[in-house]
Structure 1
Amino acid sequence: MSNFLMRTLSGLVFVVVVIGSIWLNSYTFLGVFALITALAVREFHLLTNTQNEVNVSMLFSIFGAILLFVISFVHASNIIRFPIFSVYGLYIVLVMISELYQRKSNPIHNWAYFILGQAFIALPFSMLNFIAFNDSAVYEPFLLIAVFITIWVNDTGAYLVGITIGKHRLFKRISPKKSWEGFVGGALAALASGYVFSMFITEISLLQWLLFSEIVVIFGTFGDLSESLLKRTLSVKDSGNAIPGHGGLLDRFDSMLLAAPVIFIYLSFLA
């Protein structure tokens, strides 16, 4: 099978899994994205644990990520009113205390990468729950689907314009292939998607949808650059090989990592 065909097929499967799990119901979203969160955190620590004096517990990190995602789901859906995030906070404290007994030469590295994995990977994935559930704790998948579609439209527009007329580097030190022309092309494509979304969800005005799209573009680009910085720091090309032809999960979800928290804040102001 050619690389192009493999890339196309795996890309289609990826889109179907992401959109399908969100669209079907809240529990398929919970199951699939809790698994994706766990695998993404695992992928992150497979990279970071290659560094000298870094040996973050994969079990502790994955459990923490799943715990945060499930707690966020339970809170966003209003299943439990108990201040449940205190459970996650206690877990983080216990993990950090446990590191004191590991007798490592430089345990601060493990602390730092453990917290980074939770903050940079697990937290943004968990924030997706608060986009999917509205203020009345009703599951409404369209906004979450809109986030991912906007990311993909932006990526496609940026790529096509970038390879065609891209000359001025956007952030050469971190990602030499990205151009300002590609960034503008992606932003314009995202505006078009925002216009289309405004025809389906009229509770949000056209202007608000356009702002939604550009927030995703701006912070999605920063998320992409942040993941590129991580890979450059660790001297790797891809974060993994979970998706044939596309690299790892972090390579596919990098734009979401910084876009999701900001979109949640934006939607909170609109509510």
Structure 2
Amino acid sequence: MSTFSRTFITRSLTAVVFVAIMLMGFLLNRYSFLILFILIAAGCMVEYQQLMHLVMVRFSKSKEVEKPNPVQRIAMWLGVSGILLMGVGGALPAHSLRIDVIGFDVLMISFVLIPLSELFIGSFRWVSVLFSLIGCLYVGLAPAFMIYFRWQEVNKDVQWIPVIIIGCVWVNDTMAYLTGSLLGKHKLWPAVSPGKTWEGTLGGLLCTVALSFAASWMWPLFNRWHWMSIALLVGISGTLGDLLESGWKRMAGVKDSGRLMPGHGGMLDRFDSLLVATPIVWLYVHVWMFR
């Protein structure tokens, strides 16, 4: 069997398993959805910490960064846990147990521990603190907002926004790849992502918005302009999320963020667009759709 055939079979089997797990998490019930995005957040956090440690080692002349800071890593896990609790609590009725308040307290404890952890190792590096604080928000916000949408009890239509976001990300990525392969000539940002072109990016964006327009007729959950606005925001912010993760991988000197999914890289490679797009959509929903 040729190398190409083995690679194709590996990628195909991984994709089937990945899609099956995602569908089961989405469609079973809201608890399976919660577990799914807790696992996604955990996988992304592991890979983010690995990437940022490689970046620090590569660009620092100090031997102190050769070993990860365990206190800081634990504090980051606390931060993401707090954000996830806020996502669950924010969707529950006001008279229920205020899980969101508990989550906020845990997040604040994390934000205090992260800079203190630098003092525990005998030094203080603002870059390490900044990467850690950013990591809590980067990894935690999107899963928390996904959970928030899915667990909504007041407006049931909002529960479908995670499906719309995932669909828009998939359409945008697929059509950008196809359009770029056929028509791509002008590189978007070759220093960060050599394969991306302006033609592919615009093609993916236009196809995503056009499909959302068609979906708004068949599935009139919201005003048609809300459908198209969400698709536009996902297309733009999802591309930026892809470029952001590609930049971090180049800084770390690695091709993939992890090896969890053979042939597809790691969790960050699969969810980089989602991590940036979801908070943008949440902001749009609260500012424009239900003000």
Q: Which has the larger radius of gyration?
A: 2
- Structure 1 match to 2:165: 147
User: Which secondary structure state, in structure 2, belongs to the residue aligned with residue 177 of structure 1?
Assistant: strand
User: Which secondary structure state, in structure 2, belongs to the residue aligned with residue 84 of structure 1?
Assistant: helix
Return the match for 1:234 from 238, 252, 271.
252
Matching residue's letter, 1:69: L
> What does the per-residue CA deviation read over 1:33-88, in whole Å, with 9 as the maximum and x for residues that have no partner?
11210121011111222333442433332233233213311222334336334313
Counterparts in 2 of 1:15 and 1:202: CA distance versus 1, 3 Å: same
- Structure 2 match to 1:224: 242
Count of residues in Structure 1 that have an aligned counterpart in Structure 2 = 271
- Structure 2 match to 1:24: 28
- Structure 2 match to 1:76: 91
User: Which secondary structure state, in structure 2, belongs to the residue aligned with residue 83 of structure 1?
Assistant: helix
Return the match for 1:176 from 194, 209, 216.
194
Deviation at 1:12, TM superposition (A): 2.3
Matching residue's letter, 2:289: L
Return the match for 1:201 from 219, 222, 228.
219
Superposed counterparts of 1:1-271, under 5 Å: 2-50=6-54, 51-52=56-57, 53-54=64-65, 55-57=68-70, 58-78=73-93, 79-81=96-98, 83-96=101-114, 98-99=116-117, 101-134=119-152, 136=154, 141-268=159-286, 269-271=288-290
Extract unaligned runs of 5+ from structure 1: none
In 2, Cα distance between equivalents of 1:196 and 1:88: 43
Deviation at 1:196, TM superposition (A): 4.0
Normalised by the length of structure 1, the TM-score is 0.90
Instruction: Tell me the percent identity.
Output: 30
In 2, Cα distance between equivalents of 1:163 and 1:12: 24
In 2, Cα distance between equivalents of 1:138 and 1:202: 13
In 2, Cα distance between equivalents of 1:138 and 1:110: 41
Matching residue's letter, 1:12: V
- Structure 1 match to 2:60: none
**More displaced 10-residue stretch of structure 1: 82-91 or 224-233:** 82-91
8 Å CA contact retained: 2:168, 2:231:
yes
Matching residue's letter, 1:87: D
Counterparts in 2 of 1:13 and 1:200: CA distance versus 1, 3 Å: farther
Over aligned residues, Cα RMSD in angstroms? 2.2
Deviation at 1:183, TM superposition (A): 0.9
Matching residue's letter, 1:113: F
Normalised by the length of structure 2, the TM-score is 0.84
8 Å CA contact retained: 2:69, 2:121:
no
